Structure 1
């Protein structure tokens, strides 16, 4: 009888692509992939460590896994596993911890599913994670895949543990990315989301720059069979005019950018060691809206960074309020060991961080509603997903407007041209179908 393995992924799109790659390794080794609740023989938990909350989630997932399958072999991989292997090894029920350089050799390490009193730990220094391991996520009903093209980061933002968890910047080759994109297209998936730790830094191999992200963008635009390619997140200093102008006339790249800001205060940006000032960010947004007026722009922002005064926060709030962006991803700063920010003075009280987070969440809701309102009475192509709630299914336009319509199984993973009619009470846009699009 085949052994069963189940996966649980915490964190970013990159983690999801890597979990899928690890899943394919288990399949090649003769394992059957099952749902988390289907009493698997092995659990693989792929962790994130961006915030303390992610660490706590890992502990909870382990606990729930062992309630379902008490004798299952539990292996922890991912960023948390690289940063704090000893801490993880002491979680009751954990059998193995694999670091960044070891996680893609997981099948070689799991040779015996006997549970031991003490967890096995294989965790080399992150400097040993030198090779790029490609990956993409594909599920049975998925309409999109997360395609990993870059890993690691050479930046040194003072709040971030990712370079400590993933190592230096390194990338796939353009030729290999193209081959993987063709494989994705052949599977029937209609949208690719490009992912990486520092996506715009694509092109470094063996410590040397061999390509630019723009070279990859131009090459991917010619891959047949993929309807949409979405850029997941890109640093403002790496989002060049040539990339913006190319996307504006692209056959496949969609008018949607997610651009980390982190703070609208030049003082705080300096303390964070970000590689730009807010004027450059404003210029990027203005350029995008000049050539793509209906483009959706998302923003990452951190509140409560050490030294952030009330005036600094209001500076950020006003900057974002005036900026022509579509939504915010708001993060409350949390202290991380071995980061320069953790040693900084001017610690912001937790209650103040909470209030600032709340204010920006309200602003984000207003921004999203204003963007959605601006798209009403327009006609767009929507890719529908198997995302069913209260009898409705959802999908996204090319410019990332989330739409809803009554569930119809025929629409799953299909493109339809629709007319956006009104924003519903739950914040999604309701539609009327105007013309059927057949995609082969």
Structure 2
């Protein structure tokens, strides 16, 4: 039995590392604590509880998590420190050994945090409450407001793919999701809160429906009918799950933005086989061509991993030339990181750190070139922009439906408002286009 009186007049601080899915889940944890009278800590206050939601996608991410935990312990020496997220699930003993940590919650327990806080007394050593990845079965609904104006709606969690380089199935369990009805209700709640843009997030969102007998295509059709939302964006979706049916629907939908993020990971079929990816370059090229055929102005971002085991110089050159040939807008480039217990460790050819760095540099050059070309092609066009809350003393920014960042002078009347603008030249920082004209 929980003694909720323990939480009276307590404060909490929240720290999130990693993906948008983590941010959505941290937001849900915050709501749970707030409902029990635990308010968010104010600037300059010391918190009674600190919740740290961690990432473990790379070795660098693990290092950043350890550094963040130690820093937060120093900042809040009397606080009850709770660590959750992927790093906590994969390496709970490492987290428990960090002085000052009191509680480690696994993926199955993070949204049941109230049951594990106890009397909030500091521990001599971190208490671990986790389950094995095969026992992670609960889908915990989460929806968060970002630091701008858009919301992030978690529609799916976990993954059944087991790519050779990836630990996500061990950190988050198997693929599962909520119902379409529950997603529509959460979107309607966003409308009531004044939200106008929602990004659909998850680990493998195209696999939506695995646990409810529905489909991702059914989901987007249902969400497209939610009155009051100006636009939905589809976050990263596997190319083999991005059907032509989905692409064609987005092209004619009322609310889905012409914006796709599609993980490629490698442009070499040999490397894709080593990764255990479920497509080849022919299928990927077809998806890009299909998007551009029905949505010529669509923004397409792709993910790449360079320097994986088995990626010889010849195979990297295949990736380089394939990516260069694609009509995409931007690359998100990741350097391969060895992850414990992954099948990739059995592959013999190892790429040196120097080679990884050089390959990353080459792909980032392509990304910069493609992004500039995409922006230049959009100059002079009329696009809808949803403007965001600016930082104090700074110009306002917003994004077009096809993800062009737009800059205008500050105008409080434009915050969270969609306007049509004529896209002009680059701003001084070269990271946005100026609005030549704003049409209400």
So what's the TM-score if we normalise by structure 1?
Answer: 0.96
> Are 1:267 and 2:270 counterparts?
yes
> Are 1:64 and 2:71 counterparts?
yes
> Are 1:102 and 2:109 counterparts?
yes
Partner of 2:376: 373
Superposed, 1:23-422 pairs within 5 Å as 23-34=30-41, 38-138=45-145, 142-205=148-211, 210-388=213-391, 391-422=394-425
Find the aligned partners of 1:112 and 1:433 in 2 and give their Cα distance. Answer: 58
Find the aligned partners of 1:37 and 1:262 in 2 and give their Cα distance. Answer: 43
Whether the 8 Å contact between 1:256 and 1:400 is mirrored in structure 2 is yes
Find the aligned partners of 2:256 and 2:43 in 1 and give their Cα distance. Answer: 34
Partner of 2:3: none
Instruction: Measure how far apart 1:36 and its partner are.
Output: 7.2
Whether the 8 Å contact between 1:7 and 1:36 is mirrored in structure 2 is no
The answer to which of 265-274 and 360-369 deviates more is 360-369
Whether the 8 Å contact between 1:229 and 1:254 is mirrored in structure 2 is yes
Whether the 8 Å contact between 2:99 and 2:125 is mirrored in structure 1 is no
The answer to which of 423-432 and 267-276 deviates more is 423-432
Q: Deviations over 1:298-333 (max 9, x none)?
A: 000000000111111111111111100000000000
Q: Deviations over 1:340-397 (max 9, x none)?
A: 0123210100111011111111111111000000000001111111233762121100
SS of the residue aligned with 1:58? Answer: helix
Q: Deviations over 1:416-438 (max 9, x none)?
A: 211111122422111123311xx
Unaligned runs of 5+ in 2: 1-7
SS of the residue aligned with 1:299? Answer: strand
SS of the residue aligned with 2:303? Answer: strand
Find the aligned partners of 2:228 and 2:45 in 1 and give their Cα distance. Answer: 35
The answer to which of 278-287 and 108-117 deviates more is 108-117
Partner of 1:430: 434
Unaligned runs of 5+ in 1: none
Whether the 8 Å contact between 1:388 and 1:407 is mirrored in structure 2 is no
Q: CA RMSD, aligned part only?
A: 1.3
Runs of 4+ in 1 over 3 A off after TM superposition: 35-38
So what's the TM-score if we normalise by structure 2?
Answer: 0.96
Q: 1:389 to 1:429 in 2, by over 3 A?
A: farther
SS of the residue aligned with 1:238? Answer: coil
Instruction: Measure how far apart 1:218 and its partner are.
Output: 0.6
SS of the residue aligned with 2:23? Answer: helix
SS of the residue aligned with 1:312? Answer: helix
